[in-house]
Amino acid sequence: MSVNAQSTSGTPGSVASRKHTAADVAFMQGMIGHHAQALEMVALVPARSSRVEMESLAERIAVSQKDEIGIMQRWLTAHGEAGDTKQAMSHDMHAAHTAMPGMLSPAQMDSLRNVEGTTFDRLFLQYMIQHHEGALVMVAELLRSPGAAQEPMVFQIMSDVDADQRAEIRRMKALLAQLP
């Protein structure tokens, strides 16, 4: 389900008075770890791919996801829910986050690190599509949580994640179809 179908007027009260839920916090914390793995993946591109379009894709993903991580960390801090977001981005936590939809397993990350050229490009695109589709599952799960995604910034981040991931999936499928 696209977030465009989600109504923001489902709860009474003004937008400013809407409170966040435990599901909102879990989404923001989980998405930080999810985005961190995407950053780890795109960092592999310059040394393993010679295609300009792959470097451009990696740069777009890095810029958008670093920006969103910063926004989510600031939101968590402002709402007293920060916890240890640096730990959420650590390698140790990646293993714990592999249960999140779309996250690559340690074996998949190793396989990506150990290839280059067209083999890398193909595997990167397949894995990043898997990763992005997982983020869409996380958005859908948030939308199914009662009262979730009503706080304006949570709704904005969720909407941005949904729109960005869908657009990038289309671009990656097109790039994948062009590979020899």
Amino acid 87: pLDDT: 58
Enter the tokens of residue 171: 């671009």
Q: Is the pLDDT of residue 130 over 90?
A: yes
Cα–Cα distance for residue pair 80/40, rounded to 1 Å:
27
Q: How confident is the model at residue 19 (pLDDT cuts 50, 70, 90)?
A: confident
Return all residues near 61 (Cβ < 8 A) that are at least 6 apart.
38, 42, 128, 168
Query: Where does the chain have alpha helices with state H?
Result: 22-42, 45-48, 52-78, 85-88, 91-97, 106-113, 117-144, 152-178
- Residue in 100, 156, 110 with CA at minimum distance from that of residue 133: 100
Cα–Cα distance for residue pair 45/117, rounded to 1 Å:
10
User: Model pTM?
Assistant: 0.85
